[in-house]
Chains A and B, each alone.
Chain A
Amino acid sequence: MGSSDLLTTFCRQAEAMGAQTLCVAEGEKAADRIIASMRPLGSRVALVASPLVEEIGLEEALAGAEFEVEKEGRDFARHADIGIVEFDLGIAETGTLVHDATDLKKRLASMLPLHCVALLRSGKVVPDMAEALSFYLKSGQWPGYLAMVTGPSRTADIERSLTIGVHGPEGLLIVLLG
């Protein structure tokens, strides 16, 4: 599969699993587009700093757009409406996001708020689970907390009726960049 095929498959699968995807082309104002999609979700944001967040100037843009941004501190992410986290990889076959979430803030921001905005470089999509695991096996010590996320949190425990947003986010927005 070529890289654009991988990306298409990834988006199709992720959407099938209940995530939303937002593809931002190179040269586009990424931060503006993300902010536009975040507006309806709330105003308190738990943001985990990362190279990509820096690159697109997301923190400043959020502040400018009057979001309340927290980046650390006691009770981090506990009261936020939205958590923003960069992920390492996407798995095309299942529309899955993968990240080394040993860093506590990454975990809290992607678990506690009702919405999660996941940032991913579009060149980081691999075909399947085996490729994703090889990636981490090759990159030195195995991560302390490797998390794979596919769609929002879900349950079918009552009458098998699919309901999203149990303990984790009920909304997962995947932003694919450049």
Chain B
Amino acid sequence: MTLAEILASLFPAGHDVRVAGGLITGTGPLADGPVHVLGVADRTALGVDEALRMAGAVIDIARSPSGAPILVLIDSDSQRMSKRDELLGLSEYLAHLAKSLLLADRAGHRTIGLLYGHTAAGAFIATALATGTLVALPGADPVVMDLPSMSRVTKLSIEVLTEKAKATPVFAPGLDNLAQTGAILATWDPAKALDAQLAALLATPVGDDVRDLLGAERKGRTKSAEIAKRVVELARAGG
């Protein structure tokens, strides 16, 4: 689905969501009140300038008393790979955005990520993966690293990597593989109205980070939840 189609289905009564400089901002009405819409469009790379603008918008919303949820729509590139961005400390800007989203969620502004296009690497961590609940639309294309780059690093051919990917979802790019590891709660049905699907999601209670349990259940990450739980138990047993 295109961004315009998504917004039309989310807000049949209209909205004021706009895209400027690759960033999405605005609001739209749901049955229970307004929802803030933020995000990255047009496969824009997330550099220091974009991350700071987006974090500023998140903090402003988190400060507002309404408690209105934040929908984060993502079709991004990876982090911007440039000398300037790294010189200025891109890691801090991306971490700042991730922390702001997590704190907004804790401050009562529920954060829902909707992955509708591409995303990769540091941009993925700082946006979609920093929302309280992440859902996707079919055709979404999250990657940690694309197979050609992985082929260079691992010195294995793309054919061999594609073959290995069939045996395990743990390294290969794509929505299905990320979903199996627990990153994505659900994939929405584009044939049904998105406003109803969003409303249903907002009606579910907010919980802890259960992505490792989800990964175990879906057999995409068999060890994470168990190892983390054992460490917690050992730490607590020692007093």
Tell me whether A and B are bound partners.
no
Chain B residues with CB under 8 Å of chain A are: none
Chain A residues with CB under 8 Å of chain B are: none
